Structure formats: C-alpha cells, structure tokens
Amino acid sequence: MVEVKEILRLWLDGRSLRDVTRLAAADRKTVRRYIEAAQAAGVDRDDGPGQLGDELLSTVIAAVRPDRPRGYGTSWETIAAHREQINTWIEQGLTLTKAHVLLERRGVVVPYRTLHRFAVTELGFGRRRATVPIADGDPGVELQVDFGRLGLVPDPVRGTRRVTHGLIFTAVYSRHVFVFPTHRQTLEAVIAGFDAAWAFFGGVFAVVIPDNLKPVVDRADPLEPRFNDAFREYAQARGFVIDPARVRHPQDKPRVERTVQYVRGNFFAGEDFVDLADCRARAEAWCAHVAGMRIHGSTRTRPAEVFAAQEAPLLAPAPQAPFMIPVFSTPKVARDRHVEVSRALYSVPGELIGTRITARADAATVKLYHRGQLLKVHPRQEPGGRWTDPADLPDEVSAYALRDLDGLARRAAGYGEHVGAYATAILEHPLPWTKMRQVYRLLGLARRHGAAETDTACARALEVEVINVGLIERMLTRGLAGIDTMARAEPAPPDDQITSTDATTDAAVVAAAGRFVRDPGEFSTRRPS
C-alpha cells in the first residue's frame, strides 16, 4: 500500500512516467496500470496528494493486483522451470535476447521483460561497466547519505567505550557536510539523524540518495532494493524522494564516499570525547566551522558559503514536529479473532482465523490490513493491553467473550418477561460473570422447550424464590409448567372449599417437587459418638 502511494504521489507531484518509474523502482507498465486505475477511481492530478486516502488506495490495489499466492505471475513460474538451461546459456556467453529466442523455439513464450527480471534477480545477470563522472545536478536537489565507522566513544551508562558510526550527509552541489554520530544503526537512529540533518541544513532536499543501509533496506538488490514501509512513510511525511544506490556500487554516491574518509581522519581521529552527546555537539560545530569553511579540493570553493548562497533558499521547509515511527508486522489471526501487535491484543473483523495480515502501529493508532485493504483502526494499547470491538465478534459469542451481563440479560428477556427476570436474578452475584454459563443453559432450555413453557416455569420458580436452572429443566422435562399454567388460569378456591380431588392434585405436586427428600426413618437412630 505504501509503494502504490509512493507511485501516485510522484505522479501527482508532476513527474513524468519515466521519472516515476525510476524513482519508485517499479516497472513502467505496472506504474501505468496504477495511474490508470487511480484516474478511473476519480483521482485528479490538480488536487494534490491529499486525496490519497486508505479507501482510494484500497480501490486502486484491488483493481490492479491479481491474486498471486506465491508473489509472482505465471510467466515467472514458467521461466523458473527452465532455470538451469537459462543459466547455462548465460555462462556460455549468449545474450539474453538470444536466450529469449531459444525459449520460444521450445514453446516457452514469456515476455522479455519478465525474463530479464528473472535473470537479474535469480541468476545475477549483468555486466560490470566502467564508471563515468556524474554531474552535480541543480542546487538544493540531491543529498547523498552513508554510514561510516568512526571509532570508540565512552558510554557512561555502561562504563565502557562503544563502537560509534557516523551517519554522514553530503550535499551534492555544494559539498556541505553534516555528521550524526550514533552507537546503533537502527531505524530510530537513522530517522533521528535525518531530522537532525534537516535542522542543520535549515530545510529538506528534494532527493535523497542513500546507501543500502541495513536499518532502511529490507531486501538488498542490485537494481531494486526494497525499503521498509516505515522509512517510505517518513520520506512521504518529509516530502523527499528516495533514489537508492545499487548494492556494492559506491560510484553511485561518490560525493559521500570520499567524505567518509575525510570525517574519520579530520574530525574523529585523535579526539577524546566525554560521551555520545559531546561527540554530536562537536561534530555539528566541526561541520559548520571546519568542513564547511575549508577550500574544497574539487570545487575550489567554501561549501558553507556556496550552500548558503545557492542551495539554502531552494530547500523545502524543515519539519517542526517529530515523526511518529510506525512499526509494521505480519501477525496471524488467532482462534479468538485477535492479533498480537507490540505485545498487545486487537480484534479483527471477518472470518480470517489462521490468516496472516499486515499491522501498522504508531504511537496513537494500530491499523490492520489484509491484501492492501484496510480492515480496522484501533487505538494503541500498552504492552499487555487488549482492545476488542464488539462488532468484530459474532453475536452468539460476543456477550460471553466481553462479559456483557446486560446484553446477556436482554437476550434472555427476548424469550419472555419472566425468563429475563430469572436471568437477572441468576446474575445477582458478587462475581456475576461466574453465573453466565447458567444463563446460557437457561437460553438453551428456552430454545428446546419453547419460550412460552420456559417463561411459565421461570414465573413459577420466581414465586417461590428458587433460583436454580436445574429446577427449571426438571419442571420443563416433567411438564410441571403446564400444571402450573392451568392452576393459575383458574382462581384458587378458599381453604374450606378444597375438594378431595384438589387435595390429591396438590399432594401430587408436592410429592414430585420433593423427590430428593429422605425418609424420616433414616434419622431415627443416632450414631455412637
């Protein structure tokens, strides 16, 4: 979803199809299909990137992306079956065009572009070419970034010296430099270094050319490295374009490659630092007053002066608020219809038990996606917390799962007034959720024996203040509710008018109700003490 948003954002920014293809590291036909789908969905190029919401992106993805269980199309799978033969042809020196012709002779008809991507990705196809000088480009456009090992800096917390790397930024046009020392090469450290660089330069460059930094690149590739979604979102929030260098091709970022040696030798070597904060403060001062004011060997100018005169006015405004770094994960939906994200549980709508979905968590919200479609947005919970939306659970289990006592009582009242009153009486307990199973048993009796009979039995039990679901079941099984119905249908005669038949009937009722009463003879003797 982030990749599609990047393609559409570049297109809405007014860039050509060729520039979007290059900067987004995607195939031109794929880019064209996403743009056409966006136009069909109502995207107007004059309205800007603000119209790229989750719903619109979901519509575009659903219209373009087919269902590929293994991540590749049928043409890729067809080529994979001839992997050994294609590799043999490449080792023999055949061109990929000739290999494409030989495959067609064997009845394997696939697009040449797919064959080329397969050969590059799976077989390492490609020749090493001689480097040529790269033009500096326009002022305020390109910024090259790389990590370089500086040395050891004391860590007062640990009481030892720790290895410190420098995240080095070099403006291509002016050669102005900024260094951000850090102990760890994590995504948080990289984003903190970028924000510090924007504050130092006073603005944001249009294009950033990073190395294949481990905290930023999920999968290294000679031509199409995959950046993680969190850094792509950071680039979108700050408004710069990522133009990554190729793997093991330092000639793609020569300006910062030479700067690494200069920083290590001129700034760090021979210095004693108190801690990392002291190293960062002295690095910023060195960048402004030493590296920025030197006569550069290639341009023969002072980088800080060239930057202030020609590049600083062209930069985008520096960010004022910190960036909330999102965390992406692929949790599996458990049997209770919840997923674990950052040690907290969140409910998932639909029947996705056993399916892996994509979760995006930041400081405020947790968004759940499935195949590019937004499923749910939850507020972020602390580790160990749980957030369940009752609408995500089936109606038959939501009351039990959420311990919804009021909802359970309302369900019981649907079978009759006395059934609801009986359920309420059952739940009147210091620990009411421990009585919920008895209410479910009462609802089962109402479904099996009918609402009218169960309501009559509950009314009779409430009259004598007996709260026992087992008693209700016995009454329904033996048909005692019907006897009580007839008894209440006729007004009770006075005591002096009770006939022998009535007495026999009452005796039968009492005898049936007391079938567990012991014989008095069992208590006539005393056991020896």
List, as one string, the DSSP characters of 194-216.
HHHHHHHHTSB-SEEEE---TTT
The mean pLDDT value for 86-107 works out to: 89
Q: Which two tokens stand for residue 31?
A: 């880019």
State the pLDDT confidence band at 488, using cuts at 50, 70 and 90. Answer: very low
Angle formed by the axes of helices 451-463 and 436-449, nearest 10°: 130
Grouping H, G, I as helix, E, B as strand and the rest as coil, residue 257 is helix
> Bigger pLDDT: 1 or 297?
297
Does residue 202 come out as left (phi exceeding 0), alpha (psi in the -120 to 50 range) or beta? Answer: left
**pLDDT higher than 60, residue 501:** no
Maximum Cα interatomic distance, the chain, rounded to a whole number of Å: 127
Would you give the end-to-end CA distance of the chain in angstroms? 83
The owner of tokens 């003490």 is 529
> Bigger pLDDT: 153 or 75?
153
Instruction: Answer yes or no: are the C-beta atoms of 152 and 269 closer than 8 Å.
Output: no
Instruction: Answer yes or no: are the C-beta atoms of 256 and 148 closer than 8 Å.
Output: no
Per-residue confidence (pLDDT) for residue 485, from 0 to 100:
44
Identify the burial level of 259 via C-beta atoms within 10 angstroms of its C-beta, where 0-12 means exposed, 13-18 middle and 19 or more buried.
buried
The owner of tokens 């009242």 is 413
When mean pLDDT is compared across 136-150, 349-363, 369-383, 501-515, the lowest value belongs to 501-515
The owner of tokens 């996403």 is 34
**Nearest by Cα to 188 from 290, 378, 322, 345:** 322
Reported as a single tens digit per residue, the pLDDT across 260-310 is: 999 999 999 999 999 999 999 999 999 999 999 999 988 899 999 999 999
Distance CA 193, CA 202 (A): 14
When mean pLDDT is compared across 41-50, 160-169, 346-355, 489-498, the lowest value belongs to 489-498
In this structure, the dihedral spanned by the alpha carbons of residues 321, 323, 324 and 325, taken in order and rounded to 10 degrees, is -170
Per-residue confidence (pLDDT) for residue 266, from 0 to 100:
92
Reported as a single tens digit per residue, the pLDDT across 126-170 is: 755 555 677 788 999 999 999 999 999 999 999 999 999 999 999
- Amino acid residing at 320: Q
The mean pLDDT value for 212-236 works out to: 81
Reported as a single tens digit per residue, the pLDDT across 332-347 is: 999 888 999 999 999 9
**Nearest by Cα to 367 from 375, 356, 343:** 375
Per-residue confidence (pLDDT) for residue 425, from 0 to 100:
87
- DSSP code at position 127: -
Distance CA 458, CA 441 (A): 13
Reported as a single tens digit per residue, the pLDDT across 11-28 is: 888 888 888 888 888 888
Residues 6+ apart with CB under 8 A from 359: 328, 329, 330, 331, 339, 341, 346, 366, 367, 368, 369
> Mean pLDDT of all residues in the chain?
83
State what percent of residues in the chain have pLDDT above 70: 85
